[in-house]
């Protein structure tokens, strides 16, 4: 028996249904018809790194310690890495039970961990690594060598190449990976095959709303799904899931402008930046088809050094200096432009700000309809890492909004999204189950590990926050104490 796990970063039932209204997806359709389907609830914040870590550990971010795409450690901001967590991950449990595992495309893990099988990381690792080391000579791993760019690098690239051209290129990379994945699945008899594909997240940010491109992506993913389903025997099971879903974005709340209004942070513009902004060169003008963006595109293409110099001076008036912000503000905000942001009360600045007073003040944004939820970190997480969360408070914007903590917006609280972001994350992702009977009663990302362990007839440790989704009667979680008592 083989358990197949297909993780589709950012895929959701609503976006699949939108595509199904326009085109057929035979394998997804068969899954929805013959299997079970549900929205899979993600963690807070529903961003890739903490959500995948919860998927593969079964515990909340307070226990695994990964809260963001980045980590705020004292004055530094570093990218997250699943290897930093001390909780066991799915492949650890399976390796200890001597099961053979194929794990490919797993994001935010570097270098590849040693498992009983083959491991190839996916997006957001500094460079390609694999276990065993000779994996690269057995399989073509070219498609797994991602270049993950920063917001500004991405903006420049999209300005020069156009989002359509980039979307087509990343679709081609998927075909390359799909070929390798097929070969890997056939290489031996696996107990568990874990395949994560990062494409939906990449593409839906860039091209959500461009129906032709989104449909083409789901068609390519449908073919990948077909490759797996064709290999399944009646004993096998398949779980298709995502770390979060997607929705359209129309408006943006500029968190730093609010912090500036409340005198929790300060502006640090240069004279040149103020001049350039007055001349009309800003994010808004650059993100529209018009004279300014055409000139900027031309400059980028032919005189990249000049474009860099202009953006460098503009940066102080347009982009928030993150490192300065941590030390020089009473309250600083962090996010990656999804509908969520962290607020952190400074340890470096004297002030009379408390968690309670900040929440009271934030209520005004809720009343204005600019925020949907205000959470206190120590109330939504459990575990020894709660105090390492990037902020004391996590705010959530209403549907169709994103929260920006990276840019200034000329003293206005609300504005338009970056033209590089057509879609933003939503909490509800995707769960499709095929080949085994499950009870899907508001499933969460925490439930994947216990479900897989249950399918493999392995015990579920009591530290795990999720529960098995298998229809059969729930067993008591295994506690070491019970064993000693019996002895
Ligand atoms: Zn994601």
Rounded to the nearest whole angstrom, what is the distance from the C-alpha of residue 347 to the centroid of ligand 1?
Answer: 31
Ramachandran category for residue 105: left, alpha or beta (phi over 0 → left; psi -120 to 50 → alpha) = left
pLDDT at residue 130, as a whole number: 95
- Which CATH number fits the domain 250-262+322-416, given the four candidates 3.30.1360.110, 3.40.50.720, 2.60.300.12, 1.20.120.430? 3.30.1360.110
> Tell me, what DSSP letter sits at residue 388?
G
Rounded to the nearest whole angstrom, what is the distance from the C-alpha of residue 269 to the centroid of ligand 1?
Answer: 34
pLDDT at residue 267, as a whole number: 79
Rounded to the nearest whole angstrom, what is the distance from the C-alpha of residue 55 to the centroid of ligand 1?
Answer: 12
Rounded to the nearest whole angstrom, what is the distance from the C-alpha of residue 40 to the centroid of ligand 1?
Answer: 13
First to last CA, the chain: 33
Fold annotation for 3-247+425-455: Alkaline Phosphatase, subunit A (3.40.720)
**Beta bridge partner(s), residue 407:** 319
pTM over 0.85: yes
**Beta bridge partner(s), residue 76:** 73
**Residue 358 has which token pair?**
């900040």
Cα R_g (the chain), whole angstroms? 23
Cis-peptide into 132, omega within 30 deg: yes
Rounded to the nearest whole angstrom, what is the distance from the C-alpha of residue 439 to the centroid of ligand 1?
Answer: 25
CA 5 – CA 257 distance, rounded (Å): 43
Rounded to the nearest whole angstrom, what is the distance from the C-alpha of residue 66 to the centroid of ligand 1?
Answer: 14
CA 201 – CA 197 distance, rounded (Å): 9
CATH 3.30.1360.110 positions along the chain are: 250-262+322-416
pLDDT at residue 317, as a whole number: 61
CATH 3.40.720.10 positions along the chain are: 3-247+425-455
Rounded to the nearest whole angstrom, what is the distance from the C-alpha of residue 199 to the centroid of ligand 1?
Answer: 9
CA 230 – CA 183 distance, rounded (Å): 14
CA 103 – CA 196 distance, rounded (Å): 8
CA 279 – CA 272 distance, rounded (Å): 11
What is the mean pLDDT, run by run of 10 residues, along the chain of 487 residues?
97 95 96 94 96 98 92 67 94 97 95 97 87 95 76 65 76 90 96 95 87 92 96 96 95 94 82 64 60 62 64 61 73 88 84 89 97 96 93 95 87 85 92 94 96 96 96 53 42
Rounded to the nearest whole angstrom, what is the distance from the C-alpha of residue 47 to the centroid of ligand 1?
Answer: 6
Rounded to the nearest whole angstrom, what is the distance from the C-alpha of residue 124 to the centroid of ligand 1?
Answer: 11
Tell me if 382 sits within 8 A of 60, measured CB to CB.
yes
Task: List, in order, residues 6 or more apart from 236 with CB less than 8 Å away.
Answer: 1, 2, 3, 4, 435
Rounded to the nearest whole angstrom, what is the distance from the C-alpha of residue 356 to the centroid of ligand 1?
Answer: 31
Rounded to the nearest whole angstrom, what is the distance from the C-alpha of residue 43 to the centroid of ligand 1?
Answer: 11
Backbone angles phi, psi at 433, to 5 degrees: -125, 135
- Which residues are found with C-beta within 5 Å of the ion, ligand 1? 9-10, 48, 201, 243
pLDDT at residue 261, as a whole number: 94
pLDDT at residue 172, as a whole number: 85
CA 381 – CA 379 distance, rounded (Å): 6
What digits encode the pLDDT tens for the residues 62-111? 999 999 887 766 666 667 899 999 999 999 999 999 999 999 999 999 99
> CA nearest 346: which of 364, 368, 361, 324?
324
Rounded to the nearest whole angstrom, what is the distance from the C-alpha of residue 132 to the centroid of ligand 1?
Answer: 26
């Amino acid at each position: 028996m083989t358990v197949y796990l297909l993780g589709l970063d950012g895929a959701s039932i609503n976006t699949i249904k939108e595509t199904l209204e326009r085109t057929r997806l035979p394998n997804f359709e068969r899954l929805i018809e013959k299997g079970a389907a549900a929205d899979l609830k993600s963690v807070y914040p529903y961003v890739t790194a903490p959500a995948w870590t919860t998927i593969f550990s079964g515990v909340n971010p307070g226990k695994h310690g990964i809260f963001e795409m980045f980590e705020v450690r004292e004055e530094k901001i570093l990218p997250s890495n699943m290897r930093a967590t001390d909780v066991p991950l799915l492949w650890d449990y399976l390796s200890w039970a001597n099961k053979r595992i194929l794990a490919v495309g797993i994001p935010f893990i570097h270098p590849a961990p040693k498992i009983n099988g083959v491991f190839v990381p996916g997006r957001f690792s500094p460079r390609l690594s694999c276990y065993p080391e000779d994996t690269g000579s057995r399989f073509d791993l070219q498609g797994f060598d991602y270049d993950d760019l920063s917001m500004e690098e991405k903006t420049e690239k999209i300005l020069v190449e156009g989002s359509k051209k980039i979307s087509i290129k990343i679709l081609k990379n998927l075909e390359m990976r799909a070929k390798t994945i097929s070969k890997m699945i056939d290489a031996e008899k696996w107990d568990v095959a874990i395949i994560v594909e990062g494409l939906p997240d990449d593409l839906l940010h860039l091209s959500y709303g461009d129906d032709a491109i989104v449909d083409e992506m789901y068609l390519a993913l449908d073919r990948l799904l077909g490759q797996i389903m064709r290999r399944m025997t009646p004993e096998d099971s398949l779980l298709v899931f995502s770390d979060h879903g997607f929705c359209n974005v129309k408006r943006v709340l500029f968190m730093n402008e609010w912090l500036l209004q409340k005198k929790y942070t300060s502006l640090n513009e240069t004279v040149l930046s103020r001049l350039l902004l007055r001349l009309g060169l800003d994010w808004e003008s650059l993100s529209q088809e018009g004279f300014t963006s055409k000139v900027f595109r031309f400059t980028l293409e032919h005189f990249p050094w000049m474009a860099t110099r202009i953006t460098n001076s503009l940066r102080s008036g347009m982009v928030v200096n993150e490192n300065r912000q941590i030390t020089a503000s009473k309250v600083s905000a962090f996010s990656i432009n999804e509908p969520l942001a962290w607020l952190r009360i400074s340890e470096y600045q004297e002030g009379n700000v408390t968690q309670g007073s900040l929440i009271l003040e934030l209520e005004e944004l809720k009343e204005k309809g600019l925020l949907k939820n205000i959470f206190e970190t120590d109330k939504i997480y459990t575990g020894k890492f709660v105090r390492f969360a990037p902020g004391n408070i996590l705010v959530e914007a209403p549907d169709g909004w994103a929260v920006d903590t990276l840019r200034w917006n000329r003293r206005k609280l609300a504005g338009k999204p970056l033209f590089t972001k057509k879609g933003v994350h939503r909490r509800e992702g995707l769960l499709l189950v095929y080949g085994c009977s499950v009870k899907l009663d508001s499933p969460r990302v925490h439930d994947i590990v216990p479900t897989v362990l249950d399918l493999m007839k392995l015990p579920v440790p009591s530290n795990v926050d999720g529960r098995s989704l298998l229809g059969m009667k729930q067993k008591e979680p295994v506690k070491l104490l019970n064993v000693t008592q019996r002895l």
